[in-house]
Each structure stands twice: as structure tokens, then as C-alpha cells.
Amino acid sequence: MNDHPALPVARTVAGLRETVRGWRRQGLGLAFVPTMGALHEGHLTLVREAVRRADRVVASVFVNPTQFAAHEDLGTYPRREAQDAELLAGAGCHLLFAPTVEEMYPDGFTTAVSVGGPSQGLETDFRPHFFGGVAVVVAKLLNQVQADVAVFGEKDYQQLLVVRRMARDLDIPTEIVGSPTERDGHGLALSSRNAYLSEAELAIARRLNGVLAEAAVKAADRRPLAAVERDAYADLLKAGFERVDYVAVRRAEDLAVFADGVVDAPARILAAAWLGKTRLIDNMAV
């Protein structure tokens, strides 16, 4: 039984802004959590962090088509708005913004946003379309909501840095906050795509964070990063992953490569690997 009042839903930018204006007139602070829906505990952790930081919280649910390539899972990506709304209400959210594709990308839409720096390499090497799509939709959402703070998960660490750089470069006044990755009892990073995994694949997936943790210790000991990355790559294949897109240790601040091939500043290890048709990403501090 739902113990929470129905969460108000705005489906247009005009409706969203009308509600936000009312809050602003009352002097209330505003936080924002963008999502693509299919919510799990990781998303709700972001909402609770937003509640902690502001008087009112807006969460968006929008499966953004511009960040999916033609061969990716746009059509099958899980959509369950009613359940998402109930979970958001339980976490303390005050408004759900759930626009249509037509509302976000009306006829004649042609604008693109390109972010350099932290978008280079890693995900871009395998999904060259991805950060362009992310940058456009997040720029629009930040402009539409105009929150004081927006909370993003560190699970998508490269995305977090891309959004932070974009907001800084474009003078978007919203503070971009990263929230630590939420994991299950085996250490697997929570993800909507985990639902695609069979039981056998799930057992393999739960070894990803262990391989990264071992590699992170080696990297922190200033071992040559080429060897650390190569060994972690091999260990993921031994663990049962069918394909590994990358394992990389980069500077935590901007994802730049360590010039001397060893860790000499705060670092992050990042990986992407495949089980069947499911692509998993994860990262952790070094």
C-alpha cells in the first residue's frame, strides 16, 4: 500500500517553471536529480542527498534518445513511471518532471553541445555519440529547472566530470554534486541494466568491483600503470566477462593520463565490460 501522497508531475517546461517560481517566491532552496527512470536504491540515494541539501527537490525521468546509438537499447530500456513516482515520493521528492521527447526536442531542434577535456577517451572511444547527447539534455534540464544544486552519481564518473566541466564553462550557476556509488551486498554497483543479467551473469558481474579494487591497490603503490591496467584487463576476462572495452587509471580531477605512467596525484580506476548483451561500467578511487 502506498503511504505517500501522489507525487505531482510536470510534463511541460512551462508547468515545471510555474511550480519552481512558486517555491522561489517563498524563498525555498531547490535541488535537482536527473534520471532516466527504472529507479533503484542508487537513484534514491541521490534524491535523499538532494533532500538534505535543499527545501524542495525536483527529479526528472526522461529516457534521452540522443545518447543512444542505433544499435543500443533505447527501445527496450525499462520504463515504469508509476513505480518510479512512488519511489521518488517515498524518498522525499516534491515534483517529478517527465517530459515527452517532443517537449524536449521540438521540431527543428538543431543545437549541439560538445565538451572536450574529460569527455576524451574511455566511453567516447566506444560510444562516440554519448557525451554529445548527455551534454545537450543535461544543459537543457539544468536551464529548465534552474536549481541551486544538482546531484549526480559517481558510478558514471566520466559523465559527472563532463557535466561539471560543461556547467563551469557555460556559467550555469547550479552546483554539480557527486554522490558515492551505491552497491549491493556483493559490491556490484547498482544499475538499471543489472536487470538484464541472468543469475549466472550476475555472479560474474559481482567480481568486477573486486578486480578493480585489487588493481587500485597496485596503482596506489606506484606500480607501472600499463602493467596494472593490462593485468586487470586479463583478470576480468578470467572472471568470465566476455569482452572488456577498457580498464584505465586516470587523474581523478580531469581524467587526464598520468604523464609518467605512475600515480602521483588523486586517481580513479574506471572500467567497462560486457556480459552477453549487457555492458557494465564501474569505477573507484585509487
Per residue in 79-113, pLDDT tens?
A: 899 999 999 999 999 999 999 999 999 999 999 99
Mean pLDDT over 146-154 rounds to 98
Reported as a single tens digit per residue, the pLDDT across 207-264 is: 999 999 999 999 999 999 999 999 999 999 999 999 999 999 999 999 999 999 999 9
Average pLDDT over residues 38-52: 96
Q: Read off the pLDDT of each residue in 165-179 and give the average, rounded to a whole number.
A: 98
pLDDT confidence of residue 3: 58
What is the pLDDT averaged over residues 31-52? 96
Give percent above pLDDT 70 in the chain.
Answer: 99
Whether residue 182 is predicted with pLDDT greater than 70 in this model: the reply is: yes
β-bridge partners, 273: 244, 280
Mean pLDDT of 149-164: 98
Angle between helices 225-239 and 208-220 (to 10 degrees): 160
Q: How confident is the model at residue 266 (pLDDT cuts 50, 70, 90)?
A: very high
Quick count: other Cβ atoms within 10 Å of Cβ 68? 17
> Which SS3 state, helix, strand or coil, does residue 183 take?
strand
545537450: which residue's cell? 136
Helix, coil or strand: residue 221 = coil
Q: What is the pTM of this model?
A: 0.94
Q: Are 191 and 42 contacting, i.e. CB atoms less than 8 angstroms apart?
A: yes
- Tell me the C-alpha distance between 48 and 82, whole Å: 19
Question: Quick one: pLDDT band at residue 1, thresholds 50, 70, 90?
Answer: very low
Q: Is the pLDDT reported for residue 75 higher than 90?
A: no
Give catalytic status of residue 94 as yes or no.
no
Round the average pLDDT of the chain to a whole number and report it: 95
Q: Are 268 and 231 in contact (CB under 8 A)?
A: no
- What residue type is assigned to position 129 of the chain? H
Catalytic residue among 43, 94, 129, 186: 43
Cα separation, 136 vs 113, whole angstroms: 5
